[in-house]
Every structure is written in structure tokens, then in C-alpha cells.
Structure 1
Amino acid sequence: MKEYKSFLLTIQVTPKQGGSGSIVHWHLEFEKISEEVAHPETLLQFCVEVSKEIDEHLLSEE
């Protein structure tokens, strides 16, 4: 986080109409301290893994 002035991660989950399951939207908003800082693409895999873990958790409660 030393490379960003600000970093906001928002997760929006909405139930699918007429069926089971949900649709998940991840929104990342950030401001780098300089143009030399790399784009945070490495967080994409993190988002995939967290989505899978949330899915497993919700399915285990059914």
C-alpha cells in the first residue's frame, strides 16, 4: 500500500433472478503515487480466490 495514495475495493453481490446463485462485481479504484508504480494486476488472482472461498462458504450454509 506504500505505492498508492488511495485504494478502494468494493464487492457487489446481487442474487440471480429466478434461480439460485448470485452475480459478483469487483470494483477496484486506486491512485498510484507515481506513473512508475505497476498496475495492481496481481490482485486479480486474489479476487478470484476470495470469490471461490465466499462461494464455498455460502454453499456450505445451505
Structure 2
Amino acid sequence: MEEYKSFVVTIQVFPRSEGSGSVVHWTLEYDKLHDEIVHPETLLQFVQDISKDIDVCLT
């Protein structure tokens, strides 16, 4: 996180309109310190893994 001025993660959960379960929306907003810093794409796999772990716990 030393490469970013700010980094905000927002998680929104909405019940499905039909059937059981919910839909989860993750939003990652960040401001890099400079243009040479790569986008935090490695976090996408992390977010996906967390979502799957939570799903296992809730079902």
C-alpha cells in the first residue's frame, strides 16, 4: 500500500431478485503515487478467493 495515495475497498451485497442467495459487488478505488506503478490486478484473485471462502461459509 506504499505505492498508493489512497486505496478504498467497497463491498455491496444485494439479495437476488429471484431465488435464494445474494449478489456481491466489490469496488476497488485507488490513486497511484505515479504512473509507473502497476494496477493492483493481483488483488483481483485475492478478492475472488475471499468471495468463494465466504460463499462456502454461508451455504
- Which of the five TM-score ranges fits, normalised by the shorter chain? over 0.9
CA deviation profile, 1:18-53 (whole Å, cap 9, x unmatched): 311111111000000000100001111001100001
Question: When the two structures are aligned, how many residues end up with a matched partner?
Answer: 59
Q: Partner residue of 2:22?
A: 22
Unaligned 5+ runs, structure 1: none
For normalisation by structure 1, the TM-score amounts to 0.90
Corresponding position: 1:55 with 2:37: no
Q: Partner residue of 2:46?
A: 46
Runs of 4+ in 1 over 2 A off after TM superposition: none
Q: Distance in 2 between matches of 1:33 and 1:58?
A: 38
What amino acid does structure 1 have at the position aligned with 2:29? E
Q: Distance in 2 between matches of 1:27 and 1:34?
A: 21
Q: Percent identity?
A: 59
What amino acid does structure 2 have at the position aligned with 1:10? T
Q: Distance in 2 between matches of 1:5 and 1:18?
A: 40
What amino acid does structure 1 have at the position aligned with 2:52? K
